[in-house]
Amino acid sequence: MVFARLSRRAAAVPVALALAGLSGCGPGGPGTAPAPAAGSGGSAKEVTVFAAASLTGTFTALGRDFEAAHPGTEVRFNFGSSATLAQQIVQGAPVDVFAAASPATMKAVTDAGLAGASTTFARNKLQIAVPAANPAGVDELKDLAGPEVKVALCAEQVPCGAAAAKALAAAGLAVRPVTLEQDVKATLTKVELGEVDAALVYRTDVIAAAGKVRGITFPEADQAINDYPIATLAKAPAGAAAKRFVDLVLSPQGKDILAKAGFETP
């Protein structure tokens, strides 16, 4: 999980998510300025976006574009497992925008009355990620069931893990992973470090890691496509600024950035 503010000194900020501390993080650093009151509208100088880990690259780029178009406004991101992010929102984290990697994780937020209707803005498909040299000789999905092949999967309660379980069930395969990770970036990292022979991750993550891993397509991925919904939170502290960020994601500019990263159009 990554919590970061886009600025000239962009740096990761650890997320303990002590709720009072999070709401007190202003443009000059923790405690320097109070967060705007809930529903305060367009005067907010900070927009907090919780987004699926697989959106890290695209949303970081969109955040820079948003800041350029709205001088003085900063976008802060918390990237991680959609399931974990949804839980944090339900527990009261002050958030303006939520972009999830599955309708199921968005539903946890909307069912709690914390967001209105969401909009699907992208779709994503799984690939098999292997190290560039592919030492285990993995060529297709059934190879992941081999007893000597070390496989990393996302935990099934998070969207990439649910998609992997669906794809493996469609292929009639039983795979014993050596590790279950809490988001897709952590899963892919196991491949990049050579700790596993293969992993099931999103196509977009394979593209982002070009040169470090190789992606292998497989037909069952078509039966496990994830829709990505986005919504403004009902009590978004940033109000109108949050809506403008969502509008950017849904705009032709946003769609172009997402498409170049490998996302599919809804």
Per-residue pLDDT tens for 101-145? 999 999 999 999 999 899 999 999 999 999 999 999 999 999 999
Dump pLDDT digits (tens) for 155-180.
Answer: 999 999 999 999 999 999 999 999 99
Q: Alpha carbon of 237 to those of 7, 21, 34, 193, 234: distances in Å?
A: 20, 15, 11, 39, 9
111 burial class (0-12, 13-18, 19+ CB within 10 angstroms)?
exposed
Q: Report the pLDDT value the prediction gives residue 45, as an integer from 0 to 100.
A: 87
Question: What average pLDDT score do residues 67-80 get?
Answer: 96
- Surface-to-core class of residue 80, CB atoms within 10 Å of its CB (0-12 exposed, 13-18 middle, 19+ buried): buried
Which are the contacts of 11, defined by CB distance < 8 A and separation ≥ 6? Answer: 4, 5
- Pull the structure tokens for residue 87: 């839980």
Sign of CA dihedral 84, 173, 206, 148: positive
Number of other CB atoms surrounding residue 72 within 10 Å:
8
Average pLDDT (33-38) is: 35
**Pairing relationship of beta strands 126-131 and 46-52 according to DSSP bridges:** unpaired
Tell me the pTM: 0.82
Q: How far is CA 247 from CA 1, 98, 204, 234, 244, in A?
A: 25, 13, 22, 16, 5
Instruction: Pick the closest to residue 231 from 113, 119, 93, 123 (CA basis).
Output: 119
DSSP states of 18-53? -HHHHHTEETTEETSSPPPPTT--TT-SEEEEEEEG
CB 139 within 8 A of CB 215: no
What does the CA dihedral 104, 116, 184, 156 come to, rounded to 10 degrees? -20
Strand partners, 265: none
The length of the chain in residues reads 266
| 246 sits in which H/E element | helix 240-250
Contact 209, 129 (CB under 8 A): yes
When the pLDDT of each residue in the chain is averaged and rounded to a whole number, the result is: 87
pLDDT tens track for 215-242: 999 999 999 999 999 999 999 999 899 9
All structural domains of the chain, each given as residue ranges with its CATH number in brackets, are 2-123+228-260 (3.40.190.10), 126-223 (3.40.190.10)
Exposure string over 117-137, b if 16+ CB within 10 A, otherwise e: ebeebbebbbbbbbbeeeebe
Total Cβ atoms within 10 A of residue 222: 12
Which pLDDT does position 18 carry in this prediction?
35
Tokens of 48: 């907090």
Whether the per-residue pLDDT at 99 is higher than 60: the answer is yes
Bridging pattern class, strands 151-154 and 226-232: unpaired
